[in-house]
Amino acid sequence: MVTLVRPANEETIMTHHASQRRAYLTLVLISLFCLMPFFWVVLAAFDPKASQFLQIPDGITVNHFWNLLANESGVRWVLNSVGIVGTATLLTLILAGFGGYALSRTQAWWKRPLLYAIILVRIVPPPALIVPVYKVMLFLNEWINNLINSLTSDVAQQVVLSRIFSFVDGYLGLILIQTAMQLPLAIWIMKTFFDAIPKDYEEAAALDGASQWQTVRHVLIPLALPGFAAAGLFAFINAWGDFLMPLMFTSSPELQTLPLGMFRAFLRVDAIDYGFLTALAVIYTLPAVIAFAFARKFLTQTFSGGVKG
Amino acid sequence: MFNMTYEARRQFGYRIMMTPALVLMAAFIVFPAFYAFSLSLTDDALLGFAAQESSYVGLRNFSRLFSDPLFWNSLKVTLIFVIGSAVIGQFVLGFASALMLQRPVKYKSIFNAIICLPNAVPEMVVGFLWISMFASGEYGTLNRLVAWFGVEPQQWLYTFPLMSIIIVNTWRGIAFAMILLTSGLASIPKDIYEAARVDGATDTQIFWRITVPMMMPTIFLYMFISTVTTFAIFGLVYTLSRGGPANSTEILGIYIYNQSFTAFQLGYGAAVAVISLVVSMVLGIIYVKALKVEV
């Protein structure tokens, strides 16, 4: 198309072509840099003779993926990760849904300071918390295990309950700490979305005789659905990829999740099964990539909370 | 309860609704953050006598900290890591991607997806992928690449440890810079560019005199967010190098972990954590004040 402002003389066409070439060159180089590390993991996952090095496979096999299903620890890591991160995401959504709605609607004088405080909470670097959080978790752990022991004297029941409800080396502790870490961003996202829903809608529903619960179910939740999607996706991506909390609070093999299970398998330098680990890495990465593809369009909306998704 | 007005009941209801979330954040983030201050004044340990009964030692941990070369080393490593990867690496490559994608190029969404891919990868897998990239010997991927330019095979993670983790984090964060800076570029009115072109400005002039000044708020926002998040990194570096070799990649988070759970000195680890908390809170307050975040 010919622009009206600029005459399409030879000189501008030349610089136009040169700058287009520069644009493509830059983008191709950056893309290659971004893609490079993936070649190895994708090829090795299907390579019968997978190794640490990038190589073109002689043949293609899906055995590594079948072996995962047969491998007890591989299956357990996946199930533990799905269970813990899934529960934490769900809990984050429920708590942030209520919290974000309340923060959006409340007229208390401390609303603004509280919102600023939540930004600061979001900024706290998790590694700075490990010592005091470890102490808190030990304390809660002792309390809950005393409670379990006082509720039942059956040792088998105690072991099961302790596995589920322990704060150190138990499911509950990991779920709660992951939830707490995701809450500041999730609350900000939900608050922003509820801010955009006029209060009139709720009042109109109330005037039409809807109960509080009906208003929430049929008016608020449908309207805030994109907010829930954004908050849930970011909570999932962050908790799914987190390495520090599992490192701190899991030790027994039954509780191992993907990041730590893989890390420890990788540390056994003499006996690394690259086929197994690369297939597992692909399985571990896929949910995060899919979630990120959906979350991407929300990313710019989370900046107002001063936080990276 | 029963003699409250409708409005008062509603306001009370809001408080009830936000309580569970606030309690959870208080228990696992806010309280521990303050607790770190009091722990840093003790000789608490994971093993030995102090583990049973820790005692108050005043500011001894801090005076030890400030004379500990490993602490200063860690602070230096963190600073270089943040500047190298967030302030320079991610920013330059992200800005370049954002600018190029503004142009009428084909396959925009493909370039976009490729650049976003590293950002979605879990930290553990990032370490795993790059250990293969950096593998030593002539079959290591990076070694084969540099061999084209006549460079001998290197032991990247041993010879250039800090540079290596900077490259990895740059790789991971280009997408974030690109997305944020793209949204900034999109908000610059197009007629300013038209006017400049009519006046005969060159591309370089337009970039430095229009794009950069108009992008300043976005660049500031980017610098803040990326500095704070890079400062908090742990898993990415831990899975690659665990702080080694010889503390050369021991960023603050890893230094805290190693002091607390490898050397078992919880009180000392808490003192390092206090420094890290103070730095990020100062950054946070500057940000909240400077940007006047809309609430």
Return the CATH number at A167: 1.10.3720.10
B33 within a domain of the structure (yes/no):
no
Contact B288 A119 (CB under 8 A): yes
Contact B141 A120 (CB under 8 A): no
- The structural domain count of chain A equals 1
pLDDT at A309: 34
B271 burial type by CB count under 10 A (0-12 exposed, 13-18 middle, 19+ buried) = buried
pLDDT tier at A137 (50, 70, 90 boundaries)? very high
Across B251-278, average pLDDT = 92
B19 within a domain of the structure (yes/no):
no
Of A53, A112, A131, Cβ closest to residue B295: A112
Write the pLDDT tens digit of every residue in A11-62. 566 667 888 888 899 999 999 999 999 999 998 888 888 788 888 888 888 8
B32 within a domain of the structure (yes/no):
no
Q: What is the ipTM of this complex?
A: 0.88
Is A297 in CB contact (< 8 Å) with chain B?
A: no
Q: Which residues does chain A have within 8 Å of residue B128's beta carbon, measured at their own beta carbons?
A: 41, 262, 266, 277, 281
Q: Which residues does chain B have within 8 Å of residue A113's beta carbon, measured at their own beta carbons?
A: none
Nearest to B43 by CA among B32, B33, B53: B53
Contact B25 A24 (CB under 8 A): no
Percent of chain B with pLDDT over 70: 96
pLDDT at B5: 80
Q: How far is A73 from chain B (nearest CA, A)?
A: 17
A209 within a domain of the structure (yes/no):
yes
Q: What is the mean pLDDT of chain B?
A: 89
Which residues span the domain enclosing B258? 40-291
pLDDT tier at A305 (50, 70, 90 boundaries)? very low
B25 within a domain of the structure (yes/no):
no
Write the pLDDT tens digit of every residue in B157-190. 888 999 999 999 999 999 999 999 998 898 888 8
Q: How far is A287 from chain B (nearest CA, A)?
A: 9
Nearest CA in chain A to B126: A37
B22 within a domain of the structure (yes/no):
no
Per-residue pLDDT at A96 exceeds 90: yes
Residue B245: cis peptide before it, omega within 30 degrees of 0: yes
pLDDT at B13: 86
A57 within a domain of the structure (yes/no):
no
What phi, psi does A52 have (nearest 5°)? -75, -15
**pLDDT: is A277 or B53 the higher one?**
A277
Q: How far is A270 from chain B (nearest CA, A)?
A: 15
Helices B91-102, B212-231: inter-axial angle, 10-degree rounding = 140
Per-residue pLDDT at B46 exceeds 50: yes
Residue B254 near residue B242 (C-beta atoms within 8 A) = yes
B261 within a domain of the structure (yes/no):
yes
Percent of chain B with pLDDT over 90: 51
Per-residue pLDDT at A2 exceeds 70: no
Q: How far is B41 from chain A (nearest CA, A)?
A: 13
Q: How far is B13 from chain A (nearest CA, A)?
A: 8
Contact A131 B270 (CB under 8 A): yes
CATH number for position B284? 1.10.3720.10
**pLDDT: is A64 or B80 the higher one?**
B80
Amino acid, single-letter form, for residue B58? G
Of B5-9, B196-200, B254-258, the least confident = B5-9
- Give the C-alpha separation, A252 to B27, whole Å: 25
Contacts of B282 (CB under 8 A, 6+ apart): none
A33 within a domain of the structure (yes/no):
no
B68 within a domain of the structure (yes/no):
yes
Which residues span the domain enclosing A293? 75-305
Nearest to B257 by CA among B275, B269, B248: B269
Contact B123 A241 (CB under 8 A): yes
pLDDT at B70: 93
Is A138 in CB contact (< 8 Å) with chain B?
A: no
Across A86-114, average pLDDT = 93
B200 burial type by CB count under 10 A (0-12 exposed, 13-18 middle, 19+ buried) = exposed
- The structural domain count of chain B equals 1
B80 within a domain of the structure (yes/no):
yes
A46 within a domain of the structure (yes/no):
no
